[in-house]
C-alpha cells in the first residue's frame, strides 16, 4: 500500500464523493454479476392539497426489489393506505421484472404488517437499536 494515500473523514460528503464511490463499486459489481438493470420506484400518497402524506420507494436490480421506505402519516394509519402502497409498489416491481422483494424494519415499526402480507423473516439483529430488534424480510413476487 502506498504511503501517499490517507483516509480522511468527510463531514458532509458531496454528491461527487457518493458518485465516485458508487460508480466504482457499481462497475465492479457489473463485471462480476452482469448488468443490474437498476431502476428506482416511488409512489406517493398525496392529500387533496398536494401534501405528501405517505409513500413507498425502493430500488430494483438483478431481478430483486429492495423496498427501502414505506411510510404513512400517523393519523392515516389503519385505513388501508399502507397496504395499497405496498401492493402498488410490488406490482410495479413485478411488471419491471422483479421476482423477489426484500426489506428491513424495526420491531417498533411494522414487522407484523409485512408478515401478514406474506413476508418471511430471514435475519434479525438483536438490540438494534438498544431494546429493540431490526428484522430483514423477503417475499417472492
As a whole number, the mean pLDDT across the chain is 93
Burial (CB < 10 A; 0-12, 13-18, 19+), residue 138, is middle
Res 109: pLDDT: 97
Q: Is 129 left (phi over 0), alpha (psi -120 to 50) or beta?
A: beta
- What domains can you pick out in the chain, each with its CATH number? 35-140 (3.40.630.30)
76, pLDDT greater than 60:
yes
pLDDT digits (tens, 9 = 90+) for 82-136: 999 999 999 999 999 999 999 999 999 999 999 999 999 999 999 999 999 999 9
Res 6: pLDDT: 77
34, pLDDT greater than 90:
yes
Res 61: pLDDT: 95
Mean per-residue pLDDT, 45-60: 94
Mean per-residue pLDDT, 56-69: 97
**Whole-angstrom distance, CA of residue 125 vs CA of residue 36:** 28
Res 86: pLDDT: 97
Res 135: pLDDT: 98
What pTM, to 2 d.p., does this model score? 0.87
**Whole-angstrom distance, CA of residue 116 vs CA of residue 20:** 40
Res 7: pLDDT: 64
Amino acid at each position: 500500500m502506498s504511503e501517499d494515500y490517507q483516509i480522511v473523514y468527510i463531514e458532509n460528503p458531496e454528491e461527487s464523493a457518493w458518485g465516485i464511490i458508487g460508480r466504482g463499486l457499481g462497475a465492479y459489481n457489473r463485471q462480476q454479476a452482469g448488468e443490474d438493470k437498476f431502476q428506482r420506484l416511488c409512489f406517493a400518497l398525496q392529500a387533496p392539497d398536494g401534501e405528501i402524506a405517505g409513500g413507498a420507494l425502493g430500488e430494483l436490480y438483478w431481478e430483486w426489489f429492495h423496498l427501502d421506505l414505506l411510510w404513512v402519516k400517523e393519523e392515516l394509519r389503519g385505513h388501508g393506505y399502507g397496504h395499497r402502497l405496498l401492493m402498488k409498489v410490488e406490482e410495479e416491481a413485478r411488471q419491471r421484472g422483479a421476482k423477489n422483494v426484500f426489506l428491513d424494519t424495526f420491531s417498533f415499526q411494522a414487522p407484523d404488517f409485512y408478515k401478514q402480507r406474506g413476508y418471511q423473516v430471514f435475519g434479525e439483529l438483536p438490540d438494534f437499536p438498544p431494546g429493540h430488534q431490526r428484522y430483514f424480510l423477503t417475499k417472492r413476487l
